[in-house]
Amino acid sequence: QSALTQPAAVSGSPGQSITISCTGTSSDIGYIYNFVSWYQQHPGKTPKLIIYDVTNRPSGVSNRFSGSKSGHTASLTISGLQAEDEADYYCNSYSSSGPSYVFGTGTKVTVL
Amino acid sequence: EVHLVESGGVLVQPGGSLRLSCAASGFTFSDYWMNWVRQAPGKGLEWVANINQDGSAKHYVDSVKGRFTISRDNAKSSLYLEMNSLRAEDSAVYYCARDRYSTGSLDSWGQGTLVTVSS
């Protein structure tokens, strides 16, 4: 049940696209289930679900957010970067060891 | 509107016990898996435990197994976390969260309750 690995920080200019990776193992990200989700957390706020089941966006979430998975790595892409996207982002995956869920280490996104 | 309100967080000594509660409203509580997630000050999110709709299935992160117990009362639309043998590293804000699609899709979160373990 080790935390999934994310880059500590990613930055981009307004309008650019950025991608955040989330690397795990065959027991979690690479497992047969596509139970990968992504959360956005602004300072002092509660986490917000922005992607679930690898690629799905909840109602009300901007289509600038998209998710994907390949092998043991999941990715979150933010296109058309905006100032309001500056926040911490966490991936989460089902883990067959437990079973349980495991979060990523978190990525701070800075809009330059 | 979905509403989750945690309570019970306090300052407790190492080795002590605590019971957290989460009151749910705005949805049919008994239809959903429920979770506890914690976040130490300035740190990342850590999944702690979850429980299925009727309470017959419970899962925990390794670091709390044997010390924490998750439970629910569907008649009261309430989720609980019984915490024993508390350690300094258990200090965190504890959130309850609803799993919308039973796939770890935590779509609704409470505001959290702060647990501090210190002498």
pLDDT tens digits, B33-57 = 999 999 999 999 999 999 999 999 9
What's the pLDDT tens digit per position in A32-45?
Answer: 999 999 999 999 99
Q: Measured between beta carbons, which residues in chain A are less than 8 angstroms from residue B60?
A: 98, 100
Rounded percentage of chain B residues whose pLDDT exceeds 70: 100
Chain-centroid distance of CA B67 in Å reads 13
Question: In angstroms, how far is the first alpha carbon of chain B from the final one?
Answer: 40
Chain B residue numbers touching A49 (CB-CB < 8 A):
100, 105-107
| Chain A contact for B66 (CB, 8 A cutoff) | no
Average pLDDT across chain A, whole number: 96
Closest CA to B107 of A44, A36, A68, A39: A39
Nearest to B46 among A34, A36, A103 (CB): A103
pLDDT value at position B78?
98
Where residue A98 falls among pLDDT bands split at 50, 70, 90?
confident
Across the interface, whether the CB atoms of A98 and B60 are under 8 A apart is answered: yes
User: pLDDT of B57-104, one tens digit each?
Assistant: 999 999 999 999 999 999 999 999 999 999 999 999 999 999 999 999
User: Which residues in chain B have their CB less than 8 angstroms from residue A32's CB?
Assistant: none
Question: B-contacting residues of A 23-52, CB under 8 Å?
Answer: 33-37, 39, 41, 46-47, 49, 52
The verdict on B33 touching A (C-beta cutoff 8 Å) is: no
Of A58, A100, A105, the CB nearest to B47: A100
Measure CB to CB from residue B109 to each of A46, A88, A106 and give the nearest one.
A46
Whether the per-residue pLDDT at A1 is higher than 80: the answer is no
Query: Where is A39: in which H helix or E strand?
Result: strand A36-41
Cis-peptide, bond into residue A58, ω within 30° of zero? no
